[in-house]
C-alpha cells in the first residue's frame, strides 16, 4: 500500500515537472547548530548511510557490519568530491536527505561548515579521546579553528616529498637537491642535458598550496567571526616568485597535469623529479611504466639549510552530516574506519590510502620496499614528512572558486603575460569578492 | 566526395581509437601508437572489466537498457497519443496545451534536474529506479513531432471510415493511426533512447546506490578513481566500448523504418 501511494505521488510529480521550473522546497533538513550535538547511543539497532568514493570501500565496511549487528552501515557511492559528490551533498542537505556519514576532503571542510552541514562531534567522549592517535596537523584541520570543536575524523593524508630519477642524477653527476636553492642550481644543470628538473602544472593549484604550506604560509585565516584572505602573504609571494623565475628561464616544463603529454614527459625521462604527495607514487607507476626501478624518494627540498618542514597535498576526512539521528553510532563507525588496524590495512590494500594516524603510518603494509622504487621503503620518507607538516594552514570556504581563479591566472602567467605573484594578487581580490557575494564576513 | 571522406574519417577516428585502446594492455596505452594495435588483449580486458567490483558493469549496462529502452518505449507511446490527440481532436484550450508543451522543448533537461531532485525528495523517492525512469518518459519534442506528422500523415477520411465501421477511438488509434505514424514514432523512440542513454546529470543527482547507476554514471565514477586504482583507466575504456554497442544495435535495427511514407498511396 505504501509503495503504491508513493509511486502514484511520484508519477504525478513527474508529470507536473514538465512545466515546473523552480523548486517549491523551502524547508531545509539542517538543524540549527553551533553547540555540539548530543552524543547518546540510540539503544536499538540502527542503520547508517555512508557516502564515499573510495574504490573497494564496500569490502572495508563489510568487516564492520559483520562485527556490529546493531550498527549496520550501508555504503552509497558516486564520483569523487569535486566530480559531483560535494554538489550532491549540498543538494541533499538542502532537501533534508543527506547521508549520515560522508567523505569530505580537508580543503572542502570549511565550505560545508559555513553552509552549516557538519555535526560537531566534540560531545562524543570517544572522539575527543582519539585526538592523540592522529598526526597533529590533521586534527587541527578538522577543528576548523574552533578550539573545542571536532567537525570530522581525519582519514588519510598527503604529505609531500621529492620523487626523483636516481639513475639520471647519477649518470650526469648532479647532486640530488636538499634545499630549494640547490634545486634551482640543479635545474640549470639538468636543463643543460636537455631535460627539465620538474614540471609546473598550472591546474594543480592545491599542489602549489602544498608548497606554500611547506614554506610556512597559509592562504586563509578565521578568528571565529571573520575570514582573512591571504594569498599574497610573504611566504606565498616567495614561493610564487621562485617558480616564476624557473618558468621564465625555461628551467621547468609546463605540461598540463594528468594528461598524456605529462605522462609521456615522465615516461621518456624528459622530466626528472616531482615534488608530490604520497599518493603520487601510484601516478608515476601508472603514467611512466617504462621507468620502473629508476625512481627514488627523498624529503622535499627545504627553504633553509637543514630545515625540516613538509607540505601536504590532498587527504580526506569522514564527516557526520546535519540531519542524522544517530550521532553516537556514526562517530563510532567513523573512529573504527579511521583508527583501527583492521580498517586501515584494508583501506591501504583497497585504495592505497595513507592513514592519518601515527600508528597507521607504521603499519606493516607500509613498511615494505616498493619494487617500482628500486625496493626503497618509500613510505618511511612520507611518515617522516607527515610529522613535519605545519598545523597552521587554513583552507577557505570557497576553494573551488579559488582553484579556478588561481589556475586561470597561472595559465596567463605561463604564457608570459603576467607573473605568478600578480596572478595570486588577482585571485585574492576575486576571492574576497566571492566571499562577500555569499555574505561570508571578510576582514579587510 | 573528398569532403565526405574527410568528415567520415573525422567522425570515425574517436571510435577507432576507442576500439584500439580497448584491445591493449595497460602499460601499452601510453607507450604505443594510439591508432594501431599492439598485443591483442581484448578478451582479457573484457573479462577483467566485466568482473571488476563484483561484476557491476553488466548491471549498469542492463540498467541503461531498462532506463533507455523502457523509458523511450513508454515515452514514445505517451508522446504519440498526445500528438495524435492534439492533431485530430478539436477541444477548447488545444493550442494552449500545445504551446505549453512546445515551451517544454526549450527547457534544457539539465535545468530540470535539481528541481526534480527536490520534488522527489519530498516524496522520499530519490535513489530509486523510478527517480530516473519517470522523468525520462517525458518528451515534449516527441509531442511536437507526432502532432505535426499526424496532421499530415493521418487523413481525416480514414478516421471517418474507421468510425463508420464501428471502431472505438482507442482502437482506431492503435490499429490505424499508429501504423500511419510509424516513421515519426520510430524517430521519437530513437531520439528519446539516445537522450536517456546519454542523460548523465539526472542520475548523477538522483542516485547514490551503485546498483542503480546507468553505465554513463558508472564509468564516470570509475574514471574519477583512476589515481587510486590504476587498472580502472583501462576498464573505463573497455566499458565505454561496450556501452556504445547497444546504441549501434538499436540504430541498425530501427533505421529501416525511417524509409517513411507508409501511408503514401493509401488513399489515391
Backbone angles phi, psi at A70, to 5 degrees: -90, -15
The total number of structural domains in chain A stands at 2
The better pLDDT of the pair A33, A276 is held by A276
The better pLDDT of the pair A28, A111 is held by A111
SS3 category, A299: strand
CA distance B216 to chain A (A): 12
CA distance A354 to chain B (A): 11
Closest of B194, B174, B196, B173 to residue B255, by C-alpha: B194
Answer whether B86's CB lies under 8 Å from B98's CB. Answer: yes
Cell of A339: 583508527
Q: How many CB atoms lie within 10 A of CB A416?
A: 9
What CATH number does residue A178 fall under?
Answer: 3.40.190.10
CA distance B189 to chain A (A): 18
Query: Is residue A303 located within the same domain as residue A320?
Result: no
State the count of interchain CB pairs (< 8 A) between A and B. 139
CA distance B206 to chain A (A): 8
d(CA B143, CA B79): 5
Q: What pLDDT, on the 0 to 100 scale, is given for residue A26? A: 35
Q: Which residues on A lie below 8 Å from B226 (Cβ)? A: 286
B143-166 pLDDT per residue, tens: 999 999 999 999 999 999 999 999
A266-314 pLDDT per residue, tens: 999 999 999 999 999 988 988 888 999 999 999 999 999 999 999 999 9
A17 with B126: Cβ contact below 8 A: no
Q: Which residues on A lie below 8 Å from B223 (Cβ)? A: 79
Model ipTM value: 0.86
Q: Average pLDDT, stretch A340-349?
A: 94
User: Which residue in B112, B124, B217 is closest to A17 by CB distance?
Assistant: B112
> Is residue B133 predicted with pLDDT exceeding 90?
yes
CA distance A433 to chain B (A): 26
How confident is residue A35, by pLDDT bands cut at 50, 70 and 90? low
Best of A7, A73, A262, A289 to mutate (most B CBs within 10 Å, chain B): A289
Query: Is residue A178 located within the same domain as residue A280?
Result: yes
Range of the domain at A401: 160-313+376-437
d(CA B209, CA B218): 11
Q: Which residues on B lie below 8 Å from A97 (Cβ)? A: 121, 124, 126
A9 with B205: Cβ contact below 8 A: no
Q: What pLDDT, on the 0 to 100 scale, is given for residue B33? A: 79
Query: Is residue A225 located within the same domain as residue A319?
Result: no
Name the domain boundary from A366, A386, A405. Answer: A366
> Is residue A144 predicted with pLDDT exceeding 90?
yes
A78 with B112: Cβ contact below 8 A: no
Beta strands across the sheet bearing A295-299: A273-277, A160-165, A295-299
d(CA A373, CA A339): 28
Q: What pLDDT, on the 0 to 100 scale, is given for residue A27? A: 36
Query: Is residue A142 located within the same domain as residue A125?
Result: yes
B208 with A283: Cβ contact below 8 A: no
> Is residue A62 predicted with pLDDT exceeding 80?
yes
d(CA B79, CA B70): 14
Q: What pLDDT, on the 0 to 100 scale, is given for residue A13? A: 45
* β pairing state of A160-165 and A273-277: antiparallel
B138 with A264: Cβ contact below 8 A: no
Percent of chain A with pLDDT strictly greater than 70: 91
Answer whether A37's CB lies under 8 Å from A100's CB. Answer: no
Q: Which residues on B lie below 8 Å from A15 (Cβ)? A: 138
> Is residue B110 predicted with pLDDT exceeding 90?
no
B181-224 pLDDT per residue, tens: 998 999 999 999 999 999 999 999 999 999 999 999 999 999 98
SS3 category, A435: helix
> Is residue A9 predicted with pLDDT exceeding 50?
no
Q: Is residue A149 part of a domain?
A: yes
Percent of chain B with pLDDT strictly greater than 90: 72
Best of B26, B51, B67, B119 to mutate (most A CBs within 10 Å, chain A): B119
User: Which residue in B118, B138, B228 is closest to A18 by CB distance?
Assistant: B138
A95 with B115: Cβ contact below 8 A: no
CATH number, domain B63-234: 1.10.3720.10
The better pLDDT of the pair A358, B231 is held by A358
A88 with B115: Cβ contact below 8 A: no
Beta strands across the sheet bearing A71-76: A71-76, A46-51, A101-105, A316-320, A153-154
CA distance B34 to chain A (A): 11
B117 with A91: Cβ contact below 8 A: yes
User: Which residue in B130, B217, B220 is closest to A10 by CB distance?
Assistant: B130
Nearest CA in chain A to B234: A286
Q: What's chain A's average pLDDT?
A: 90
A404-440 pLDDT per residue, tens: 999 999 999 999 889 999 999 999 999 999 999 999 9
CA distance B258 to chain A (A): 28
- Residue corresponding to grid cell 594543480: A204
How confident is residue B26, by pLDDT bands cut at 50, 70 and 90? confident
Nearest CA in chain B to A292: B27
Nearest CA in chain B to A348: B228
> Is residue A8 predicted with pLDDT exceeding 70?
no
d(CA A244, CA A378): 30
User: Which residue in B30, B137, B229 is closest to A263 by CB distance?
Assistant: B30
Percent of chain A with pLDDT strictly greater than 90: 81
CA distance B208 to chain A (A): 5
SS3 category, A87: helix
Query: Is residue A357 located within the same domain as residue A419?
Result: no
Query: Is residue A59 located within the same domain as residue A132?
Result: yes
Query: Is residue A283 located within the same domain as residue A186?
Result: yes
Answer whether A101's CB lies under 8 Å from A48's CB. Answer: yes
Query: Is residue A198 located within the same domain as residue A228?
Result: yes
CA distance A147 to chain B (A): 34
A291 alpha-carbon distance from chain centroid:
27
B204 with A88: Cβ contact below 8 A: yes
B220 with A286: Cβ contact below 8 A: no
How confident is residue B268, by pLDDT bands cut at 50, 70 and 90? very low
Query: Is residue A270 located within the same domain as residue A415?
Result: yes
d(CA A171, CA B191): 61
Q: Which residues on A lie below 8 Å from B217 (Cβ)? A: 79
Q: Which residues on B lie below 8 Å from A287 (Cβ)? A: 30
Helix count (H) and strand count (E) of chain A?
A: 18, 10
User: Which residue in B121, B130, B227 is closest to A95 by CB distance?
Assistant: B121
Q: Average pLDDT, stretch A110-132?
A: 95
In chain B, domain spans = 63-234
Q: Is residue A399 part of a domain?
A: yes
A289 with B31: Cβ contact below 8 A: yes
CA distance A2 to chain B (A): 11
> Is residue B92 predicted with pLDDT exceeding 60?
yes
How confident is residue B261, by pLDDT bands cut at 50, 70 and 90? low
Which string of b and e fits B180-219 if b means at least 16 CB within 10 Å? bbbbbbbbbbbbbbebbbebbbbbbbbbbebebbbbbbbb
How confident is residue A36, by pLDDT bands cut at 50, 70 and 90? low
Closest of A206, A219, A220 to residue A258, by C-alpha: A206
Q: What pLDDT, on the 0 to 100 scale, is given for residue B259? A: 60
Element (H, E) at A33: none
The better pLDDT of the pair A223, A108 is held by A108
A97 with B121: Cβ contact below 8 A: yes
Amino acid at each position: 500500500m505504501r509503495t503504491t501511494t508513493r509511486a502514484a505521488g511520484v508519477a504525478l510529480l513527474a508529470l507536473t515537472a514538465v512545466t515546473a521550473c523552480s523548486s517549491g522546497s523551502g524547508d531545509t533538513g539542517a538543524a540549527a547548530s553551533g553547540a555540539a550535538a548530543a552524543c547518546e547511543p540510540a539503544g536499538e539497532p540502527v542503520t547508517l548511510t555512508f557516502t564515499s568514493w573510495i574504490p573497494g570501500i564496500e569490502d572495508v565496511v563489510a568487516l564492520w557490519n559483520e562485527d556490529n549487528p546493531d550498527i549496520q552501515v550501508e555504503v552509497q557511492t558516486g564520483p569523487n568530491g569535486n566530480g559531483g559528490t560535494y554538489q550532491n551533498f549540498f543538494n541533499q542537505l538542502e532537501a533534508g536527505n543527506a547521508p549520515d556519514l560522508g567523505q569530505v576532503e580537508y580543503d572542502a571542510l570549511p565550505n560545508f561548515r559555513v553552509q552549516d552541514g557538519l555535526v560537531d562531534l566534540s560531545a562524543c567522549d570517544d572522539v575527543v579521546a582519539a585526538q592523540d592517535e592522529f598526526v597533529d596537523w590533521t586534527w587541527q584541520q578538522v577543528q576548523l579553528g574552533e578550539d573545542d570543536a571536532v567537525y570530522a575524523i581525519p582519514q588519510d593524508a598527503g604529505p609531500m616529498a621529492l620523487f626523483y630519477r636516481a639513475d639520471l642524477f647519477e649518470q650526469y653527476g648532479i647532486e640530488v637537491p636538499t634545499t630549494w636553492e640547490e634545486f634551482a642550481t640543479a635545474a640549470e644543470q639538468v636543463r643543460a642535458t636537455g631535460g627539465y628538473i620538474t614540471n609546473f602544472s598550472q591546474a594543480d593549484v592545491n599542489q602549489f598550496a602544498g608548497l606554500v604550506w611547506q614554506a610556512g604560509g597559509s592562504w586563509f585565516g578565521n578568528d571565529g567571526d571573520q575570514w582573512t584572505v591571504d594569498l599574497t602573504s610573504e611566504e606565498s609571494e616567495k614561493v610564487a616568485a621562485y617558480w616564476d623565475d624557473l618558468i621564465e628561464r625555461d628551467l621547468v616544463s609546463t605540461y598540463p597535469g594528468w594528461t598524456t603529454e605529462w605522462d609521456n614527459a615522465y615516461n621518456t625521462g624528459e622530466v626528472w623529479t616531482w615534488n608530490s604527495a604520497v599518493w603520487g607514487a601510484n601516478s608515476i607507476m601508472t603514467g611512466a611504466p617504462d621507468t620502473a626501478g629508476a625512481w627514488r624518494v627523498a624529503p622535499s627540498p627545504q627553504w633553509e639549510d637543514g630545515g625540516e618542514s613538509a607540505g601536504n597535498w590532498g587527504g580526506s576526512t569522514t564527516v557526520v552530516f546535519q540531519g542524522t539521528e544517530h550521532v553516537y553510532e556514526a562517530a563510532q563507525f567513523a573512529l573504527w574506519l579511521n583508527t583501527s588496524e583492521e580498517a586501515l590495512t584494508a583501506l591501504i590494500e583497497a585504495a592505497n590510502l595513507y592513514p592519518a594516524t601515527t600508528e597507521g603510518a607504521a603499519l606493516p603494509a607500509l613498511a615494505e620496499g616498493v619494487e617500482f622504487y628500486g625496493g626503497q621503503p618509500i613510505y618511511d620518507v612520507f611518515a617522516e614528512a607527515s610529522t613535519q607538516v605545519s598545523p597552521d594552514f587554513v583552507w577557505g570556504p570557497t576553494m573551488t572558486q579559488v582553484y579556478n581563479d588561481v589556475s586561470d591566472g597561472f595559465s596567463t602567467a605561463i604564457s608570459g603575460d603576467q607573473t605568478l605573484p600578480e596572478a595570486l594578487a588577482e585571485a585574492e581580490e576575486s576571492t574576497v569578492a566571492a566571499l562577500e557575494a555569499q555574505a561570508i564576513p571578510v576582514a579587510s | 566526395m573528398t569532403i565526405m571522406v574527410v568528415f567520415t574519417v573525422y567522425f570515425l577516428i574517436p571510435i577507432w581509437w576507442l576500439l584500439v585502446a580497448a584491445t591493449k594492455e595497460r602499460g601499452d596505452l601510453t607507450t604505443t601508437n594510439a591508432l594501431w594495435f599492439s598485443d591483442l588483449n581484448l578478451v582479457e580486458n573484457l573479462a577483467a572489466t566485466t568482473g571488476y567490483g563484483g561484476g557491476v558493469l553488466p548491471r549498469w549496462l542492463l540498467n541503461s537498457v531498462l532506463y533507455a529502452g523502457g523509458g523511450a518505449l513508454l515515452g514514445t507511446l505517451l508522446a504519440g497519443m498526445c500528438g495524435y490527440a492534439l492533431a485530430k481532436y478539436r477541444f477548447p484550450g488545444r493550442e494552449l496545451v500545445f504551446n505549453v508543451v512546445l515551451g517544454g522543448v526549450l527547457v534544457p533537461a539539465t535545468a530540470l534536474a535539481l528541481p526534480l531532485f527536490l520534488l522527489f525528495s519530498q516524496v522520499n523517492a530519490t535513489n530509486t529506479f523510478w527517480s530516473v525512469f519517470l522523468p525520462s518518459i517525458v518528451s515534449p519534442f516527441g509531442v511536437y513531432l507526432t502532432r505535426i506528422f499526424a496532421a499530415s500523415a493521418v487523413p481525416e477520411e480514414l478516421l471517418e471510415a474507421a468510425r463508420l465501421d464501428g471502431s472505438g477511438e482507442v482502437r482506431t488509434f492503435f490499429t490505424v493511426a499508429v501504423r500511419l505514424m510509424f516513421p515519426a514514432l520510430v524517430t521519437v523512440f530513437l531520439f528519446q533512447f539516445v537522450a536517456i542513454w546519454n542523460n548523465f546529470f539526472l542520475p548523477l543527482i538522483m542516485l547514490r546506490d551503485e546498483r542503480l547507476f546507468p553505465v554513463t554514471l558508472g564509468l564516470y565514477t570509475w574514471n574519477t578513481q583512476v589515481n587510486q586504482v590504476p587498472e580502472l583507466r583501462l576498464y573505463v575504456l573497455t566499458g565505454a566500448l561496450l556501452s556504445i554497442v547497444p546504441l549501434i544495435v538499436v540504430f541498425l535495427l530501427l533505421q529501416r523504418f525511417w524509409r517513411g511514407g507508409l501511408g503514401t498511396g493509401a488513399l489515391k
